[in-house]
Structure 1
Amino acid sequence: MLPIARSPRRATAASLVGVAALVLAGCGSQGDSGGASDGSVTLGFVNGSNTHFHTCLLKSVEQEAKAQDAKVYSANSKQDAGTELSNIEDMIARDVDALIVQTVNVDALEGDIAKAEAAGVPIYLTSVATSDMSDVLGAAVVDLKKVGALDAGWIEKDAAGKDVRVGIVAGAPGAASDLLVGGFEDALPASAKVVANQPGMFNPAKAQDVAENMIQANPDLDYAFVANEEMAFAVRKAFDAAGAEDVKIVSVNGTEEGIAAVTDGRLSATVANSALTIGQTAVRSTVGLLDEKQGVDKISDIPLVLVTKDNVSEAPQYCPK
């Protein structure tokens, strides 16, 4: 990999645009703004939360940056759009060559991108794409609406035309959760009625409270869609405690624990979208696009796998070792 001098990068940053954005959330290494390995390229990684997904995403970014001889600083926005913008400003002040952002809210990206563009720092986005693709370096895209649709498709097949009642335990309003839930609801068959939809805020304790209230209000619930596996485990616990062991739960992520839960029946299905792959793709693509290497895609679609008991062996590795 050729070293990138500071001044050429600033001069050519405007030409390194034309893609999409992505979303979810993360945590920082060595506190909220730790550093990583020395290298000829300096990257800033702004993560969005502290879920297992975000922890694995951070590990993947750090490992791949080391492999690419890049230096990476990380920060955690803690599901707050204002903190995300502040983190981006801090990264710009560090004079990073590019930013990788797992946004907490798609609506917040416009301000984030404008701030970075004004400073001549290109942004590469992870997880979801924005409608305006003109001002970002690239994106590693998880089709979150398709994720939701895959879970809905499993329910349609399992219900086999019967009228069924469905509950939704969403994540935090905005960003990933809205896309997941929207894709799920849009793909449900007409015979499936959504009787409850409440946010669990990507917090297992909150999700358990939501599930307890949901099953009390809807004791005849047939299925539940839960916006990540950490919450899904808490929802399963609440349903089982209420004597609702027969409610089938579908979820998202494909973590090692999630695949084990599909295997033993606690979850009926989950959609695997590897945090390991997202992080690797983001770093490799960012470095390649900065170097103007041939054959580097600005938009990379992350593979999705609907995992059931029938195909658990096909689930990709989720988290770096």
Structure 2
Amino acid sequence: MKKMRLLFFVVIAMLVLSACSMDSSLEKKDDAAKETKEGSYKIGFSISTLNNPFFVTLSDGAKAVSKENGVDLVIVDAQDDASKQASDVEDLIQQGIDLLLINPVDSSAVGSAVESANAAGIPVITVDRSADSGEVVAHIASDNVEGGKLAGEYLLELVGEGAKVAMLEGVPGSSAARDRGEGFLEAVEGKVDLVSSQPANFNRSEGLSVMENMLQAHPDIEAVFAQNDEMALGALEAISAAGKDIVVIGFDATDDALKKIDEGKMAASVAQKPEEIGRTAIETAVKYLNGEEVEEFVPVELELVKKQ
């Protein structure tokens, strides 16, 4: 009888220990699941074009900080095509992303893509260029108006009032083109003779051809503001081929532009720090997904880079 009782108590003890062990194991699994849920997100990033060094650097910054934060980052290249960007966003939505980062090809046209994400309950953050419609939780960018003013003020310093000036504009409809142009004009309006202002779509080859046409129509141009460095570099090729000495100021401070500044062939560029923009975009996205408050506009510092 005693043996039976002893055996009974041993069995009970084993069952209790087994239950405790299972509870502990389940708790560990729950904790691991919580950590995965809180620390790992799938974020889609639609970039206007990866055929531009500025956006390549921006995406590299986003990739680096994604690894640090355990983010599964899916980057898609819209190839400067607003229709492709809308299609890319639909694909990202179907992949079950937690948040959409978008660098619009066209600030107006991107509204439908933003609204699609809104309808799917996916928060949206715009990067470098804003969206004219749809709900956005934050916008990460440099102050492009201020950057345009920096360029205009330095151009005036170099050529003085009354100089004949031209401007190469970015993609029509993009907020970056609008804002940089607005800031530049605010600085120079009524002080210079703006003989020509035409779009070259943030593209180097188009910057070359548009600058060639400008020089044929206005051979006495003294200075050019290009709303990004790719167009500025194209303009420099046209200016060199024409054998002219013209002040050229760009925007973005890409590596190629900085080399031209060091060589004295380009006057200056407004540094927009694309890697920092990419990093800030991911950091802001993770904060939002973790339930923290984020600012509607998160600015990234600008500076004018010129030959020392």
TM score, norm. by length of structure 1: 0.80
Structure 1 CA distance for aligned equivalents of residues 304 and 35 of structure 2: 39
Q: Which amino acid aligns with 1:222?
A: E
1:191 aligned residue: 191
**CA distance in 2: counterparts of 1:4 and 1:292, whole angstroms:** 13
Question: What's 2:7 paired with?
Answer: none
Larger deviation, residues 44-53 vs 179-188: 179-188
2-structure distance, mates of 1:99, 1:222: 43
Deviations 1:266-286 (CA, angstroms, capped at 9, x unpaired): 111110001100000000110
Query: Could you say if the C-alpha distance between residues 182 and 2 of structure 1 is closer, same or farther in structure 2, counting changes exceeding 3 Å?
Result: farther
Counterpart of 1:287 in structure 2 is 286
Tell me the equivalent position of 2:215. 215
Whichever residue aligns with residue 309 of structure 1, its letter is: K
Letter in 1 for 2:37: I
Structure 2 unmatched ranges of 5 or more: 1-33
The CA deviation at 1:131 is 6.2
CA drift at 1:97: 0.4
Count of aligned residue pairs for this structure pair: 273
Q: Secondary structure at the match of 1:44?
A: strand
**Matched AA of 2:140:** A
Counterpart contact for 2:207–2:230, Cα < 8 Å: no
Q: Which residue of 1 aligns with 2:64?
A: 63
Q: Determine helix, strand or coil for the equivalent of 1:219.
A: coil
1:103 counterpart SS class = coil
Q: Supply the distance in 2 between the matched residues of 1:197 and 1:251 (Cα, whole angstroms).
A: 14
Letter paired with 2:142: V
Looking at structure 1, the residues matched to 197 and 296 of structure 2 have their Cα atoms a distance apart, in angstroms, of 35
Matches within 5 A, 1:57-136: 57-130=58-131, 135-136=135-136
Partner secondary structure for residue 58 of structure 1: helix
Structure 1 segment 297-312 matched on structure 2, within 5 A: 297-310=295-308
Map 1:204-243; keep pairs closer than 5 Å.
Answer: 204-243=204-243
CA distance in 2, matches of 1:180, 1:229: 13
> Secondary structure at 1:106's aligned position in 2?
coil
Report if aligned partners of 1:43, 1:99 keep a CA contact under 8 Å in 2: yes
In structure 1, what is the equivalent of residue 263 of structure 2? 264
SS in 2 for 1:183: helix
Instruction: Flag structure 1 segments of 5+ consecutive residues without an equivalent.
Output: 6-38, 311-321
The one-letter code sitting in structure 2 at the alignment partner of 1:52 is P
**2-side partners of 1:131 and 1:240: how far apart?**
39
Residue 173 of structure 2 aligns with which residue? Answer: 174
SS of residue in 2 equivalent to 1:4: helix
Contact conserved, 2:164 with 2:222, CA < 8 A, in 1? Answer: yes
Alignment-mate amino acid for residue 180 of structure 2: L
- Give the drift of 1:240: 1.6
- Cα deviation, 1:131-180, whole Å, max 9, x if unaligned, reads 66x822212122212211110011122234x3111111222212122322
One-letter code aligned to 1:308: K
The answer to whether the 8 Å contact 1:285/1:298 transfers is no
Q: Tell me by how many angstroms 1:58 deviates.
A: 1.6
Q: Aligned partners of 1:4 and 1:185: how far apart in 2?
A: 48
Give the direction of change, closer, same or farther, for the CA distance of 1:288–1:45 in structure 2 (3 Å limit). Answer: same
Match of 1:4 among 19, 30, 37: 37
Q: Deviations over 1:218-273 (max 9, x none)?
A: 1111100112212212211211211212x100110012222222222111111000
Q: Which residue of 2 aligns with 1:31?
A: none
Distance across 2 between alignment mates of 1:197 and 1:275? 26
Whether the 8 Å contact between 1:4 and 1:291 is mirrored in structure 2 is no
Q: Kindly state the Cα deviation for residue 109 of structure 1 after the two structures are TM-superposed.
A: 3.3
Q: Distance in 2 between matches of 1:270 and 1:285?
A: 27
> Counterpart amino acid of 1:277?
E
Measured after TM superposition, the shift of residue 116 of structure 1 is 0.6
What's the counterpart of residue 16 of structure 2?
Answer: none
AA in 2 matched with 1:77: A
CA distance in 1, matches of 2:169, 2:136: 28
SS in 2 for 1:185: helix
Q: In the alignment, is the contact (CA less than 8 A) between 2:62 and 2:282 conserved in 1?
A: yes
Matched, 1:276 2:275: yes
Q: Which amino acid aligns with 1:285?
A: T
The answer to whether the 8 Å contact 2:106/2:171 transfers is no
- The offset of 1:2, in angstroms, is 4.8
Amino acid at match of 1:301: P
Does the CA contact (< 8 Å) of 1:126 and 1:140 recur in 2? yes
Q: Contact 2:40 / 2:69 at 8 angstroms: preserved in 1?
A: no
Cα distance change on mapping 1:94 and 1:131 into 2, 3 Å? closer
Q: Which of these two proteins has the greater Rg computed from alpha carbons?
A: 2
**Conserved 8 A contact 1:137-1:286:** no
SS at 1:167 equivalent: strand
